Amino acid sequence: GPKVLQIPSHQIIDMGQMVTLNCDPVSNHLYFYWYKQILGQQMEFLVNFYNGKVMEKSKLFKDQFSVERPDGSYFTLKIQPTALEDSAVYFCASSLVNQDTQYFGPGTRLLVL
Amino acid sequence: AQSVTQPDARVTVSEGASLQLRCKYSYSATPYLFWYVQYPRQGLQLLLKYYSGDPVVQGVNSFEAEFSKSNSSFHLQKASVHWSDSAVYFCAQLYQGGRALIFGTGTTVSVSP
């Protein structure tokens, strides 16, 4: 099936530093998403991005978070500054149209020390 | 608030036995419903989805699910499991007009030889 790639697979960072998580979505998809999964808990929606804009975000999407997809390149999630509670696995997803099946990447495991 | 409930955190079945994973959703109208599977260190893979119509939905790898509006349920079933079915299974809903998938807490399935 369609593949979503995420880079890096793991990231360890000191609290307060900036981190950028990269997502290579399915090539013709137009809608992009980030989800967060803390160890042992369910996956939770962070943000949805379309046509260069954030369409919807949850309360987990703090002011320190930002997303962008410059010129059709990677869809990125930036956290600046990071906090200990940001440690989690972050999953990127994409869909062709709104309300359609979302295809997920393998996740980036972020550890904030 | 909308939620998805998967009451069984872990299920152990013998190879060749049948499997049923339970899922209940909370939404006044009929949401879009999904079952995803997550293998270790991989992203979520779609097993099947329900939007409308026939309440029994066929998916990949001989999985099927049955939607019940009266019970607000979307249970996943497989007639005969294989050891490769060992994974974590997530039920998710997408309310009409929404963009965020709402996930259950997942059921870990272990298939014993």
CATH code for position A60: 2.60.40.10
pLDDT at A94 over 70: yes
pLDDT at B27 over 80: no
* Calpha distance A90→B76 (Å, rounded): 26
pLDDT at B96: 67
Domain for residue A13, yes or no? no
Q: Are A99 and A36 in contact (CB under 8 A)?
A: no
Q: What is the mean pLDDT of residues A77-97?
A: 96
> What tokens does A71 get?
């010129």
The shortest C-alpha distance from B81 to chain A (Å) reads 22
The shortest C-alpha distance from A48 to chain B (Å) reads 7
pLDDT at B2 over 80: no
pLDDT at B113: 86
- What are the start-end ranges of the H helices in chain B? none
Domain for residue A6, yes or no? no
Higher pLDDT, B41 or A9: A9
Is A5 exposed, middle or buried, given 0-12, 13-18 or 19+ CB atoms closer than 10 A? Answer: middle
Domain for residue A25, yes or no? yes
Looking at the 3D structure of chain A, how many domains does it have?
A: 1
Domain for residue A37, yes or no? yes
Task: Please check whether residue B104 touches A, CB under 8 A.
Answer: yes
pLDDT at A40: 80
pLDDT at A100: 83
pLDDT at A46: 96
Q: How far is CA A35 from CA A23, A95, B8, B80, B112, in A?
A: 12, 14, 23, 32, 32
Residue with tokens 């949401």: B31
Task: Please check whether residue B79 touches A, CB under 8 A.
Answer: no
Domain for residue A39, yes or no? yes
Give the residue among B42, B35, B50, B37 at the shortest CA–CA distance from B4: B35
Q: Could you tell me the maximum CA-CA distance found in chain A, to the nearest angstrom?
A: 38
pLDDT at A72: 73
Q: Name the residue range of residue A84's domain.
A: 19-112
The residues near B17 (Cβ < 8 Å, ≥ 6 apart) are: B80, B81
Task: Please check whether residue B45 touches A, CB under 8 A.
Answer: yes
Give the residue among B109, B103, B108 at the shortest CA–CA distance from B23: B103
pLDDT at A20: 97
A104–B44: do the CB atoms touch at under 8 Å?
yes
Domains present along chain B, CATH in parentheses? 3-112 (2.60.40.10)
Kindly identify which residue of chain A lies nearest to residue B91, measuring between CA atoms.
Answer: A42
pLDDT at A1 over 80: no
Task: Please check whether residue B52 touches A, CB under 8 A.
Answer: no
- Over the stretch B47-101, which tens digit does the pLDDT of each residue have? 999 998 999 999 999 999 999 999 999 999 999 999 999 999 999 998 767 788 9
Task: Please check whether residue B90 touches A, CB under 8 A.
Answer: yes
Ramachandran assignment for A58, one of left (phi > 0), alpha (psi -120 to 50 degrees), beta (any other)? beta
pLDDT at B99: 82
Q: What is the mean pLDDT of residues B9-30?
A: 92
Q: Residue B41: its chain A contacts at CB < 8 A? A: 106
Domain for residue A7, yes or no? no
Nearest to A42 among B98, B100, B106 (CB): B106
Kindly identify which residue of chain B lies nearest to residue A97, measuring between CA atoms.
Answer: B99
Domain for residue A8, yes or no? no
- Over the stretch A18-75, which tens digit does the pLDDT of each residue have? 999 999 999 999 999 999 999 888 899 999 999 999 999 999 999 999 999 987 789 9
